[in-house]
Structure 1
């Protein structure tokens, strides 16, 4: 993650080094003095980390120093987790054949070897930190993280969940007139909504799509988010899935074409293709040819940031969406930034309007900054924000990302890394909130303020904080009113990619390069040749997460490939193999001794789990939903 997050990693390492459990380990392995020296060195470095983050934006020397420190901190954290796991393994063994194996392993001769090995590793990591501390030839000041409360009052958080839409009624009526008019010759006509990122193109399309007039005018409504990859086959698959509710990723193109034609033939349909980037006319006309057969008056709405995209579709109308007016911008800002019943003095309001003007009428930016200033209620705080942070924003043309990053900068550190982790989900991915919280838990991101609280409870509070500040959107609830899933705006996804840096890799059709510095990996391509990249993937030998958001769309993983992952990626805390086609879980799964989250769900041919899986002492979540052939769990599963 970004440099600011190194502070919290250092903080956790210090906490572990100061714990009684590690003190006992130090005595046992004869490295107590080394552990204490390491704790003092890391404490000294931690004190200047926040200042180093600020200076890194203007100093290459500080950037290089932080890069060295990042690797050392991650390696130290891995080592300490390894120590704790070995200790836990010994504590849980009792009175059976496993205990005998442990006694043999920890015999006097083996104990001496083990003590020497652990002592050597501690000394090696301490020497690295000492060297890094000596390389700090520049002046850094000691700073602490601000601990001011960021969370909204509970009733305010809940009331912010429905999306507030301001100033788009006229735009909606203009699009409806184009949709429902009968003065266009073609059976299928295209309407394009064009505008910069964050302007509300998708929101406008949603308003139109759900309007009562549209419901009565069209026999069939379909919605597909296209995003970066204009894959005609994939778009057709999504269209069919919208009609049938079933995935059809394994069908040939000819079958897909016939199925789509059967779904739309003779019907007056509305199709929304959201977030289109394709500038290749051939691809567009290939898709348009597949949409023939609809009744006269059928329409396609395209949302895009690029006017060139709209032009190649031969749109009957290119609707260039504008920013909100000053009045509308201020109205939206007040709904996001003001506490209930809050009134501002004329000078306070003037400062607020200057801040809003910087957002150039872009709703996403107004939301983000408004939600941020909700926690800065005094006039002096708003003035400081305007004159110091907002004044430094280097904004080029229509690029609103620097404005959004201000909102990220004000997050507490524990929320920063939770948000940055979401870079692993593809754009427009519907994120299951419970799964997200479990992933945060597995990475050790959730900190319990009090032992009586549970990780899921605090994780949900983290999510609500991020939601209230517009880092998430499009929340869906279950029948009991509990939050079930959400999405990220594509600009927020861009922001997550920016702040997570090169240690987080989302592998798609343009396979990113990974190496041993890559700690978080997500395989999100729709390629059929999934595991051809395995040799490159294994270079990330210190990876902590391996996700497969699209499951079986990445192809079937073989047993020997699974064994390679288990053997080479031994620092994984998260391993997602859902819907991967795996038939057998190799017994080598116990090599992943730091693993906390394992998802095997949807693998219908798994019949048994190896006994060795009970050796995963750190495992918190094991998902087996949809493993229909699974006959029984390992007999020692009760010991987890």
Structure 2
């Protein structure tokens, strides 16, 4: 039906006139968690396979949206990252119209809210640049109410109807008994009898069904199922069911989940990167030296994934969090987590611990952030438009002494301040694209708790030779990493290249105790191995973790 609506008007390869609009609006509305976004994604993927629209834009509209932010996101997509970004709204609109002109676009405005806080004028302004497109363009709106879709001009409305009782129960029990090996028919009937009563308290919300069922499948004892059936928290409200599901998580898994509220809605999460952040924050604990911290972190991730708190993103090797669950995480985190987003300014809690800076403002940084003495996390995502000044980066380490995680985008040549050596708690540093040269001071080697140091995009590194003092280092993600006595870094997980030299500290036997390495290791300069005895001392490949690939090179080219 929706696909038919996308073609139900005549199209002409010309801009729209002042009388007729070049686009029409289709609205999908339904209760939270009913699958509106999933349906929108399906339609978008299908249309990309057709030869009809020549520009696709997907924009998430938050409850407290800013027209400027949405214009900037549309421009980023429409220009393929080439458009100029302006702080002035009128200039931003003109730039966006330039890239929409001559295009038959398909725009999805996902999760639109319309209440007393949103004026009709704001919605009209949001749509105004679209009039520069070609006839036949379409806007697909997903929203909780039909009124919100109508406010954006939708004449075609598609309601996501409640599932009928039988189909909802069948889906719920599918998730609740997923992977269970139960052959006794009497037991299965008992599970279904209790499950039917639980499902009846979920308001036929698919999201509530998946999260509650996810908890039930982890605990297949009848006492837990009966307590769930009698829980007053399950009262046909989707958010109440999500809150009940959250309460069933173990404390360390709760901390991992609430931490995710630092990221914007629909942010694409990478499993291993998220686990590294949890480790750096101290959320991941091991019970013994034999237990691998990464494995414990991945176990927490798997619990969140199997209970639908984190969901795989279709067609991508990444994960996202449903809007309602993101809202729940924010409530649970309280003032611990905060996001500074484009065109959105509000009071930052003084006791904030974790900050995500989507829009870097030097005044806000100097007047506010540098005064948050309890701050543990500062994350700036990769961006073409925002980077931290070297002077601010220096002040960051001089003023905030409890930092554990720092991710920033810096200028082209960066000399890391000596003050970084005073960061006794620092465990994670990532410098994202934009920096060409990185110069590390000798005091960098005082970061004894550092677990990960990553730089993307830099061409040259100046690393002190004492880097092997960082005995807790697990990841050194650099284009090239060669330092003496690397054998002391026994926790190291990644080492792309090791070059054997005829110099102390670069011998082949440095690899002897690096038995935690994963991935691919290229060993160069093997012509510099002095004797068979020296080669045997390295104990390759038995010293390396199973699955590690080794490439051997002689004369820096012959394998």
For normalisation by structure 1, the TM-score amounts to 0.64
Pick one of 617, 627, 631 that aligns with 2:448. Answer: 617
State how far apart, in whole Å, the 1-side matches of 2:102 and 2:389 are.
Answer: 45
RMSD of the alignment, in Å?
3.0
Q: SS of the counterpart of 1:221?
A: strand
State how far apart, in whole Å, the 2-side matches of 1:607 and 1:468 are.
Answer: 41
Matched, 1:375 2:206: no
Equivalent residue number for residue 175 of structure 1: 2
Q: 1:563 to 1:445 in 2, by over 3 A?
A: same
Pick one of 448, 468, 478 that aligns with 1:638. Answer: 468
**What are the within-5 Å matches in structure 2 for residues 306-455 of structure 1?**
306-340=145-179, 342=182, 345-387=188-230, 390-393=231-234, 399-455=237-293
Q: 1:556 to 1:242 in 2, by over 3 A?
A: closer
State how far apart, in whole Å, the 1-side matches of 2:40 and 2:279 are.
Answer: 36
Equivalent residue number for residue 515 of structure 2: none
Q: 1:577 to 1:272 in 2, by over 3 A?
A: same
Q: 1:337 to 1:310 in 2, by over 3 A?
A: same
Structure 2 unaligned residues grouped into runs of 5+: 12-19, 471-559
Deviation per residue, 1:412-471 (Å, 9 max, x gap): 222111111111111121122222111111012222355344322332222122111101
Q: 1:582 to 1:499 in 2, by over 3 A?
A: farther
Equivalent residue number for residue 318 of structure 2: 485
Equivalent residue number for residue 544 of structure 1: 376
Equivalent residue number for residue 281 of structure 1: 120
CA displacement at 1:383 relative to structure 2: 1.4
CA displacement at 1:639 relative to structure 2: 2.9
Matched, 1:470 2:308: yes
State how far apart, in whole Å, the 1-side matches of 2:120 and 2:174 are.
Answer: 42
State how far apart, in whole Å, the 2-side matches of 1:247 and 1:262 are.
Answer: 12
- Determine if contact 1:432/1:485 at 8 Å carries over to the other structure: yes
CA displacement at 1:264 relative to structure 2: 4.1
Equivalent residue number for residue 588 of structure 1: 419
- Determine if contact 2:32/2:144 at 8 Å carries over to the other structure: yes
Write 1 or 2 for the structure with the bigger share of helix.
1
State how far apart, in whole Å, the 2-side matches of 1:558 and 1:246 are.
Answer: 22
CA displacement at 1:202 relative to structure 2: 0.5
Q: 1:175 to 1:582 in 2, by over 3 A?
A: farther
Deviation per residue, 1:87-121 (Å, 9 max, x gap): xxxxxxxxxxxxxxxxxxxxxxxxxxxxxxxxxxx
CA displacement at 1:315 relative to structure 2: 1.1
CA displacement at 1:267 relative to structure 2: 4.0
State how far apart, in whole Å, the 2-side matches of 1:384 and 1:301 are.
Answer: 42
- Determine if contact 2:352/2:375 at 8 Å carries over to the other structure: yes
CA displacement at 1:582 relative to structure 2: 8.2
- Determine if contact 2:409/2:434 at 8 Å carries over to the other structure: yes
Equivalent residue number for residue 330 of structure 2: 497
State how far apart, in whole Å, the 2-side matches of 1:503 and 1:289 are.
Answer: 38
State how far apart, in whole Å, the 2-side matches of 1:441 and 1:364 are.
Answer: 29
Q: SS of the counterpart of 2:403?
A: coil
CA displacement at 1:363 relative to structure 2: 0.9
State how far apart, in whole Å, the 2-side matches of 1:331 and 1:212 are.
Answer: 31
Equivalent residue number for residue 44 of structure 2: 209
State how far apart, in whole Å, the 2-side matches of 1:289 and 1:477 are.
Answer: 32
CA displacement at 1:474 relative to structure 2: 3.3
Q: 1:243 to 1:561 in 2, by over 3 A?
A: closer
Equivalent residue number for residue 529 of structure 2: none
CA displacement at 1:608 relative to structure 2: 1.7
Equivalent residue number for residue 522 of structure 1: 356
Matched, 1:241 2:79: no
State how far apart, in whole Å, the 2-side matches of 1:437 and 1:605 are.
Answer: 28
State how far apart, in whole Å, the 2-side matches of 1:211 and 1:435 are.
Answer: 31
State how far apart, in whole Å, the 2-side matches of 1:600 and 1:315 are.
Answer: 44
- Determine if contact 2:402/2:423 at 8 Å carries over to the other structure: yes
State how far apart, in whole Å, the 2-side matches of 1:514 and 1:213 are.
Answer: 43
CA displacement at 1:352 relative to structure 2: 0.8
Higher relative contact order (CA 8 A, sep 6+): 1
- Determine if contact 2:75/2:95 at 8 Å carries over to the other structure: yes
- Determine if contact 1:582/1:603 at 8 Å carries over to the other structure: no
- Determine if contact 1:408/1:416 at 8 Å carries over to the other structure: yes
State how far apart, in whole Å, the 1-side matches of 2:84 and 2:161 are.
Answer: 38
Equivalent residue number for residue 339 of structure 2: 506
Aligned residues: 452
State how far apart, in whole Å, the 2-side matches of 1:206 and 1:345 are.
Answer: 36
Write 1 or 2 for the structure with the bigger share of strand.
2
- Determine if contact 1:614/1:634 at 8 Å carries over to the other structure: yes
For normalisation by structure 2, the TM-score amounts to 0.73
Equivalent residue number for residue 93 of structure 1: none
State how far apart, in whole Å, the 2-side matches of 1:603 and 1:210 are.
Answer: 32
Q: 1:454 to 1:474 in 2, by over 3 A?
A: same
Structure 1 unaligned residues grouped into runs of 5+: 1-173, 479-483
